[in-house]
Amino acid sequence: MTKRVPSTHVPTNAARRRAFRENLLAWYDANRRNMPWRNTSDPYRIWLSEVMLQQTRVDQAEPYYRRFAARFPTVERLAAASLDDVLACWEGLGYYSRARNLHKAARRIVETFGGRLPDEEEAIRSLPGVGPYTAAAVLSIAYGKALPALDGNAIRVLARVFRVAEDATRAGTRNQLRDLAADLMDSARPGAFNQAVMELGANVCKPAAPRCEACPLRPVCAAAEAGDQTAFPVTPPRKKTPHFDVAVAIVFDDAGRLLVCKRPEEAMLGGLWEFPGGKRKPGETLEAACRRAVRKKWNVDVETRGLARRIDHAYTHFRITMHAFRASIAAGAPRAPADRAFMWADRAELQTLAFSRTGRLLVEFLSLEQAQKSGE
């Protein structure tokens, strides 16, 4: 059913596979880093760690994992929590659909799986946010099932060891690599095998400047043999990202509370709070864009009184400059459309709400400014 792609990789034989497996696991046993999710056998925590580690470095995920696991120690506690609390705990980690899906999946686990993370591939894959990688990782690590977990590290390691010349982003190539991994897998220690490949990819077989001299797979690596390891994996060039100007309003009420708005759940940064405003259109001034966007979304006229702060930020597929204007309500009061929400937040509430990076930076800027003012 999988179409075979012609490949340049070296043919495997039993001795080669055995060397790969044994060298790798011996290296892993001697070099594995201590991580909090490696000191538990709780499937919930292993699942949590795998979700946090999606497209995220170990160093970045680790403090979040500790806080999250302490705050929501069981799947029942997670299911019982509000999405707002879950997002607040996730703030700053990015890819917030992971948090929304994790929360949704926890509720489904409690409702339909009796509070236990499923140990069957089909069932676990049915949970939102669990794809082929996460299913294989959790099933191998938590339940000892011999499924290869193919993440970016595994793809790079295998593409180099076998000098896979086809575009590694293509499905056919992925299938080829997955079959290779399945062949190599140590069925006695599938969880250790999967983690070993990833750990090797993260610390030795790195994207740039791989440390081949320290690599246990050097004796079986075709790319190291040819001296062209950095040519693999083969991926198409990426496009450069566009830039947008965003104008937002800083509006305080008489009680010194700040006007903040909640983003719709399906949107980018869905469920997070932000300052009212929007993207500038061609030919528009920043102040006009600010007034127009606030008027359109919140049915209220504001007047701007000068720029308070500019923040540059890069997302995955575009960049923005956020221009934050001090502003006040010109007439009336904000009104939320049916599917949206806003609030006037005091200092304590601003600490509790989940903001994106730019929003949090602006909140911190304003509270620092306020502290200086009141300190004088």
DSSP label of 41: -
Q: Which of 15, 30, 208, 255 binds DNA (CB under 7 A)?
A: 208
124-143 residues near DNA, rule: CB under 7 A? 128-135, 137
Q: Site for DNA (CB under 7 A): which residue of 202, 234, 336, 345?
A: 202
Interface map 314-353 toward DNA (x if CB under 7 A) = xxxx------------------------------------
Q: Closest CB to DNA among 208 and 331? A: 208
The answer to whether residue 2 forms part of the interface with DNA (CB under 7 A) is no
Q: List binders of DNA among 84-113 (CB under 7 A).
A: 92-97, 101
Residue 365 near DNA by CB under 7 A: no
Structure tokens that stand for 46 in this block: 């292993």
Residues 155-184 that bind DNA (CB under 7 A): 156, 169-172
Q: Candidates 233-241, 279-287, 302-310, 322-330 — which segment interacts with DNA by CB under 7 A?
A: 233-241
Give the nearer residue to DNA in terms of CB position, either 252 or 315.
Answer: 315
Q: Where are the alpha helices (DSSP H) in the chain?
A: 14-31, 43-52, 58-71, 75-80, 83-90, 97-112, 121-125, 132-143, 152-161, 171-184, 190-203, 222-226, 286-298, 347-352, 357-375
3-class DSSP state for residue 95? coil
CA separation for the pair 372, 369 (Å, rounded): 5
Residue 48 binds to DNA (criterion: CB under 7 A): no
How many Cβ atoms are within 10 Å of 39's Cβ, its own excluded?
9
The yes-or-no answer on residue 122 being catalytic is no
Provide the 10 A C-beta neighbour count for residue 57. Answer: 9
Nearer to DNA, 4 or 240 (CB): 240
Q: Cβ–Cβ contacts within 10 Å for residue 302, how many?
A: 25
Of residues 9, 64, 143, 153, which one binds DNA by CB under 7 A?
153
Choose, from 50, 91, 199, 274, the residue flagged as catalytic. 50
69 is an interface residue for DNA by CB under 7 A: no
Residues 6+ apart with CB under 8 A from 34: none
Question: Could you tell me which stretch among 237-245, 274-282, 294-302, 332-340 binds DNA (CB under 7 A)?
Answer: 237-245
Under rule CB under 7 A, residue 358 binds DNA: yes
235 binds DNA (CB under 7 A): yes
Choose one: 74-82, 245-253, 274-282, 309-317; the region binding DNA (CB under 7 A). Answer: 309-317
Listing DSSP states for 186-239 in one string gives -TTSHHHHHHHHHHHHHHTS-SSS--GGG-TTGGG-HHHHHT-GGG-SB-PPPP
- Gap between the terminal Cα atoms of the chain: 74
User: Which lies closer to DNA via its Cβ, residue 12 or residue 97?
Assistant: 97
Q: Does 207 bind DNA (CB under 7 A)?
A: yes
Give the position of tokens 């010109």: 330
Nearest to 49 by CA among 117, 146, 113, 121: 117
Taking the complex as a whole, the smallest distance from the CB of residue 265 to DNA amounts, in Å, to 11
**Phi then psi for 29, rounded to 5 degrees?**
-60, -30
- Using the rule CB under 7 A, give the single segment among 55-63, 72-80, 293-301, 345-353 that binds DNA: 55-63
- Of the two residues 172 and 337, which places its CB atom closer to DNA in the complex? 172
Burial of 139 by CB count in 10 Å (0-12 exposed, 13-18 middle, 19+ buried)? buried
Per DSSP, the residues of 267-284 read STTTT-EE-SEEEPPTT-
Tell me, rounded to whole angstroms, the distance of Cα 181 from its chain centroid.
25
Contact set with DNA (CB under 7 A): 35, 49-50, 53-60, 92-97, 101, 128-135, 137, 151-153, 156, 169-172, 195, 198-199, 201-202, 206-209, 235, 237-238, 240, 267-270, 312-317, 356-358
Catalytic residue ranges: 50
